[in-house]
Structure 1
Amino acid sequence: MRIGLITPEPGHPLLAATTALLAAEHEVRVLDPDTAGRVPGPLADLYLLKARTPRALALARGLEERGAPVLNSAEATALCQDRTAMAAHALRAGLPFAATRASGTLARLAAGPPLPGPVVVKSRHSRRHDVVARVDDDAQLRELAAAHPHEPVVVQDFTPNDGWDRKLWAIGDRIFAALRRSELSPEGRGPTLPLAPGDLPPGWAALVHRAGEVFALDVYGVDIVDRGDGTALIVDINAFPGIRGQAGAPETLAALALSRADGARTRPPAERAAPAPVRR
């Protein structure tokens, strides 16, 4: 089979290991969305969308329009880029997602009314090196705004927690997990520690799968904070995260890619260009 990678970084650890597994018996093609034009035929049996830039999304949409299956779809990936739309979609579906409100630019937020206690300020558009900061007072907000005055942001009320993020990732039906000290903690982001999925509080694994269904994602991450009694609060959802250092992740991704590619081959041509719809 032919598997395409839409990425500017084919050497990413997860992709490189997955490619090594697939290349033994299958053809793997890399498409750099920053340089790729129209992709000539024949198309790959499946494309893995490991990029979230406008060019990557446009490339993926073009491939879908030509009948190629893309995992995750361009629509699902784009929904996870806008934190306002993401939160609204999650809350409509009944997911325990942190209430999120758009606040214009950081400069506008800093010029507005005083903040109602500790809040978390995040870039509205999720991307690498975006803004994620806890702000306790107006002085901190003014300092943040001075550094990123034109950055569109959202605001979430700060939820007291133990200072550790639960990083949960899904590849198809399989869940991987880790503990990471939150970048919002006074000590700053710490190392990623192993966490066995079986050690998660009851219902958390099912919650991750539900998030995948709601957002029509096959490979995704769900960031959760524990509100103190094992109750989960989702603070972010990511399409096709790195999932670094998780034993079995490359093997699971390779198996999922081949399974989805094989399934796409057996569908009638008219159905091949229709990715799973995002639930509204």
Structure 2
Amino acid sequence: MRICLLTSRPDHPLLEGARRALAPRHQVVAADPDASHGSPAAPAPDPPSADVYLLKTRTPRALALAHRLERRGARVLNSASATELCQDRARMAEVAGKAGLPFPRTRAYDCPSRIAGDIGELGFPLMVKSRRSARLDVVARIDDREGLSALARSRPGHPVVVQRFVENDGWDRKLWVVDTQVYAGLRPTPLADPLPVGDKSLTEPLDPADVPEAWTALALRAGRAFGLQVYGVDLIERDGAPVIVDVNAFPGMRGMDGAPEALAALAVSAGSGR
């Protein structure tokens, strides 16, 4: 079987570990949809033919390529549409709400300055996030009008979503899922300033056995709702109950023992049509 990695980082620990697990019996190739091929606006060239493609990138060219492969009948994990869905935090909230998942009420604005007119209804504190999830996006707690004005000045014309701040213990519970295998970690919640999200090296692995079964079940429900097979769910605890604050497609899962092998098994299963 041939498995193709759609990524700019085939050496990523998760992918490299999966490649090693697959190597004895399967061929693993890689293609970077964003490698230079003439004009940046030009479509990504076709990658090598494969039984399954693992989409560990979310750039516009990569997503366009994934859609093109799917129209031809190729199997792509995660699908292009599911990957796109996880990039739009407004759509994410809509899907979570329809699925009955615990998720903060979310409003979308085309720029931070638009929020001021609704402060009387929204109140403080607020969580303000970039509408589009991406590297170096905004994830900020805003406590007053001065903070909101500062954000508006620093990010003019930047689409955002706004949520009422959920009181919590200051920690994100990171649940990562490959098919139905669940892995877990603990990371400080990014709260203070309109700055990039925190250093991922701060994640402390957790024994999945120490994660409440209800939380694990919630992560699996989220995967079904969003149509994902390889994904992460960020949870915070409010009054002893979990609240989902983010869902992301194909996270790195660094340091999660067994995750590369689970990814390899999923790739083989998908490539075999199971």
TM-score (norm 2): 0.90
Deviations 1:209-244 (A, max 9, x none): 111111110000000000032x11001100111111
2:154 counterpart letter in structure 1: A
**Equivalent residue number for residue 177 of structure 1:** 184
The answer to whether 1:218 aligns with 2:224 is no
Displaced runs of 4+ in structure 1, greater than 2 A?
35-38, 107-115
The answer to whether 1:197 aligns with 2:208 is yes
**Equivalent residue number for residue 28 of structure 1:** 28
**Equivalent residue number for residue 82 of structure 2:** 76
Contact 2:205–2:255 under 8 Å retained in 1: no
Residue 157 of structure 1: how far off its partner (Å) = 0.6
**Equivalent residue number for residue 69 of structure 2:** 63
Q: Distance in 1 between matches of 2:93 and 2:85?
A: 10
From 82, 105, 110, give the equivalent of 1:99.
Answer: 105
Contact 1:3–1:47 under 8 Å retained in 2: yes
Which structure 2 residues correspond to residues 123-272 of structure 1 after superposition, within 5 A? 123-184=130-191, 189=198, 191-229=202-240, 231-263=241-273
Contact 1:110–1:145 under 8 Å retained in 2: no
Residue 201 of structure 1: how far off its partner (Å) = 2.4
2:258 counterpart letter in structure 1: G
Residue 76 of structure 1: how far off its partner (Å) = 0.8
Deviations 1:70-108 (A, max 9, x none): 001011111111110110111011111111110221233
Residue 111 of structure 1: how far off its partner (Å) = 6.8
Structure 1: 5+ residue stretches without partners: 265-280
Q: What SS class does the counterpart of residue 203 from structure 1 fall into?
A: helix
Q: Distance in 1 between matches of 2:128 and 2:134?
A: 14
Q: Distance in 2 between matches of 1:9 and 1:168?
A: 22
2:136 counterpart letter in structure 1: H
**Equivalent residue number for residue 275 of structure 1:** none
Aligned Cα RMSD in Å? Answer: 1.9
Identify the range of structure 1 (12-21 vs 30-39) with the bigger mean alpha-carbon deviation.
30-39
Alpha carbons of structure 1 residues 136 and 173: separation in structure 2 relative to 1, 3 Å: same
Contact 2:173–2:186 under 8 Å retained in 1: yes
Deviations 1:238-267 (A, max 9, x none): 011111111111111111111111126xxx
Identify the range of structure 1 (8-17 vs 81-90) with the bigger mean alpha-carbon deviation.
8-17
Q: Distance in 2 between matches of 1:148 and 1:232?
A: 31
The answer to whether 1:44 aligns with 2:34 is no
Residue 128 of structure 1: how far off its partner (Å) = 1.3
Q: Distance in 2 between matches of 1:222 and 1:263?
A: 26
Q: Distance in 2 between matches of 1:14 and 1:216?
A: 21
2:45 counterpart letter in structure 1: R
How many correspondences in the alignment? 261
1:124 counterpart letter in structure 2: R
Q: Distance in 2 between matches of 1:135 and 1:253?
A: 38
**Equivalent residue number for residue 277 of structure 1:** none
Q: What SS class does the counterpart of residue 110 from structure 2 fall into?
A: strand
Residue 149 of structure 1: how far off its partner (Å) = 1.3
Alpha carbons of structure 1 residues 205 and 112: separation in structure 2 relative to 1, 3 Å: closer
1:87 counterpart letter in structure 2: A
Deviations 1:113-133 (A, max 9, x none): 465110100000111111111
* Percent of aligned positions that are identical: 54
